Amino acid sequence: MMFRDCIKGLDKVIQSEVKPGKTILVTGPPGSLKSSFVHLLLKNYVEKSNEFGLYATLEQDVSSHLESLESIGIGLSYNLQITDYTEILSDEFSTEINYLEFTEMMLKHLNDRFGDRFTTLGFDSLGALYSMLPEVKNPRKFAFNFFNMLKKYNLTTFVIFERSLGGEWVSMGNEGFLADAIFLLGLKKSGGRTVRFFQIEKMRSVKHSMDPHAVNVGPNGLEILGPLFDSE
Ligand SMILES: Nc1ncnc2c1ncn2[C@@H]1O[C@H](COP(=O)(O)OP(=O)(O)O)[C@@H](O)[C@H]1O
Ligand SMILES: [Mg+2]
């Protein structure tokens, strides 16, 4: 089973196999479909492969996450668990929780339960995790430990990390260097219209296109269309 077969048209951009255990940063401004893209990719992947995945949502609670998926026709899967940190956050003891340890506990639990079938993780988002951890004094070390923990479980992980288009890469912890791949979702002008696009900025050991490709929201989720070229 291959990830590039899990979203219609993704094989136009990813042209060879993605080996298991890679960490992929999914970046872009708010509303650029990061959460929808990662959820749809994981859902289709675990369904087709009969493997198991976890979608950890730190930014939105489960119901608001599901609501926005529903609006673009993406459903649920028994093979994809959604875990919501926002509930724990509202707890009066939330400041005493070590979220990195909590995440590792969750991964270990699913690993014990599903073994090698537990293969994929969506983490939404790293920025939200940082904001829960005011005590992070050394973001580089933190990011290094976080990425290492993901590698330990050999999970193919999609780590969402918000970033403004054209603006500074607010990469406190060298995330772009640590990740095996960087995906960018965004909006751009093309032929006088504003269109959504998907682009791979970096992907180690995978054959891929560098061009931004148009993204269409259809009745069954997202679809990747052809490459976009500057019209100016
Ligand atoms: N039916 C639809 N057609 C086109 N775009 C939609 C539709 N429903 C929602 N959207 C867009 O999806 C966005 C939310 O996507 P989401 O995956 O939550 O983005 P992100 O995680 O990057 O913030 C909304 O801001 C809206 O612009
Ligand atoms: Mg989101």
CA of 192 to the centre of ligand 1 (A): 21
Q: 186, exposed or middle or buried, with CB in 10 Å at 0-12, 13-18, 19+?
A: buried
Given a contact cutoff of 8 angstroms between Cβ atoms, the answer to whether 104 and 149 are in contact is yes
Q: Is 219 in the pocket of ligand 1 (CB under 6 A)?
A: no
Non-local CB neighbours of 98 within 8 Å, separated by 6+ positions: none
CA of 105 to the centre of ligand 1 (A): 31
CA angle 205, 188, 201 (to 5 degrees): 15
CA distance 44 to 3: 9
pLDDT at position 124 is 96
pLDDT at position 133 is 76
Question: How many other CB atoms sit within 10 Å of the CB of residue 102?
Answer: 15
Which residue's CA is the closest to the ligand 1 atom numbered 4?
217
CA distance 135 to 69: 33
Given a contact cutoff of 8 angstroms between Cβ atoms, the answer to whether 23 and 159 are in contact is yes
**Which ligand is the nearest neighbour of the Cα of 68?**
1
Task: Kindly report whether the peptide bond that precedes residue 68 is cis, defined as omega within 30 degrees of 0.
Answer: no
Which residue's CA is the closest to the ligand 1 atom numbered 24?
31
Measured torsion, CA atoms of residues 131, 136, 82, 92, in degrees rounded to the nearest 10: -70
Question: How many other CB atoms sit within 10 Å of the CB of residue 196?
Answer: 22
Mutate to test the pocket of ligand 1, among 68, 126, 159 (most ligand atoms within 8 A of CB): 68
Domains of the chain, CATH where assigned: 20-185 (3.40.50.300)
Given a contact cutoff of 8 angstroms between Cβ atoms, the answer to whether 231 and 190 are in contact is yes
Non-local CB neighbours of 16 within 8 Å, separated by 6+ positions: 206, 207, 208
For residue 172, give the amino acid letter.
M
Q: What is the pLDDT along the chain (232 residues), one digit of tens a residue?
A: 799 999 999 999 999 999 999 999 999 999 999 999 999 999 999 999 999 999 999 988 899 999 989 988 898 999 999 998 877 766 666 666 778 888 999 999 999 999 999 999 999 999 888 887 766 778 888 889 999 999 999 999 999 999 876 655 556 678 888 999 999 999 998 888 999 999 999 999 999 999 999 999 987 789 999 999 875 4
Measured torsion, CA atoms of residues 191, 192, 196, 202, in degrees rounded to the nearest 10: 60
pLDDT at position 232 is 47
